[in-house]
Structure 1
């Protein structure tokens, strides 16, 4: 693929656990090394971030993963993130993920099992919450699935649909975004194997498959995606840890390579990055190996814009580690780290 500048990295962290909020870092174009340039603690617990590039520049959006859940917008053109407007309540508890679609900000609210829609103003700041879609259902793991827990929301590659992944109900909901009403309209729901606890999904670059990473069982569920009809269909499962692996393992974040040849998945507890190969159809995944994540409790995993380096946000060891990716095998090799207390997410802008 063509070389691209990695730009800057923005790292979210839990202020309630000693983090400094949103940390900005310069990226060395030759080595991928991070060097902090500034930070902002304007909102508590900005655990997940989304960077959006527009004609006016790049805006950064952050959830505030608190009981009084909120979102905030930031200008990231300077050394440290600068708030745009005021934080806006999302009408939900504990937002853990957010995305932008059709001029709207969407949040997945884990605590209340809902997805919120907020319009984005001309200045880039989110407006008052419009619709809040509440999930329904439960799963067999009683201490984790007694109620819905929306963990991720994202638009599909066609931009026609919005998908929300719910750990509590073992399902993925497909919705249409009503931009006039600032609300989601439920179109369908895909059930996954009970007890897998889906956390995040990632699309194949061709847009015809999606890969759902389970948190409660270390598996990837492969799905076909029909963007014309808005239908997600499960076709198989693959383990992200070798057979016989013991001890706690809670997968967190899947990443699909730009060429569609492989998936990487961060696994907390096991503290590893799983490497899986995809066949040419995109429907079969095979575990190749796992490598140490370079820290403890990798909550997020991101590929830089060059496609050559992976970055793991290790929450409990308080660092972000980076890896050079072997372009032939996909196996990451650790090459450095940056201390970031309670690191939870990393994006590039």
Structure 2
């Protein structure tokens, strides 16, 4: 900073104000200092600033799968909110593995992030609760706290499951099935629970097919299995726990059977990612406000951080049914 100050012909304090935006400086002075910064290749020492302030200018986000467009949209909303707050967003992909998630949490703790946004992969949230108790705000994203002292921003997944079954039943489906997994993920189990409740209220049995992953390949694999069932055992409607599964399932129906969607088999997904609209048969889906989830998580975490109080907030959005050609007309 001394070299920049000498090059620009200003004080070190002025350079500091320009770099840290800590005090109003004239536009001419900002331009002069900026030219010197560019000329000298100056980079601010973030580590030194963290030592002084005790915190970095970053938030950490850990999601289950960055390849899933739903989580990409969550990250997009979070990043936009961070940009507006003058913060950076560090992103980690746990791959639904608790050990990998723990590594990212440790890494972000070493970086002294201003807060953590996490979609946990396991049921035990005690490590996150411990991080929060030591002064680093933690916000659960797309996951309820379930009795832990943590804040959360979620979608009502059980309501989404009921919504999906309501739509399938209204379209005349009598043999619904649920496809999804693993059931250790609360999002999956909650969607299945809501669907089961609505099926039971309508005196229908709902078959359940558990998958190991929420991917297109997993959807195609279970789809091959279901379309090969004899007609009397085959469902006439399938509710998939997310759109990736539904897209893979649709591929199996088209590639390995003569069944028609939705005439022979209605299909509905969850999330309403771009793939849903652009599928061969446009996919009916339960829409989650993914971008809004990410944005709200950041804004709520920063509000909690600014208050200095550990007051836990839980915000829950209601999903929305988006009807397309993969289900029967109501």
Q: Which TM-score band (shorter chain)?
A: under 0.3
Structure showing the higher strand proportion among its residues: 1
* Structure 1 or 2: more helix by fraction: 2
TM-score for the superposition, normalised by structure 2: 0.26
Compare CA radii of gyration and give the structure with the larger one: 2
Higher relative contact order (Cα pairs below 8 Å, separated by 6+ residues): 2
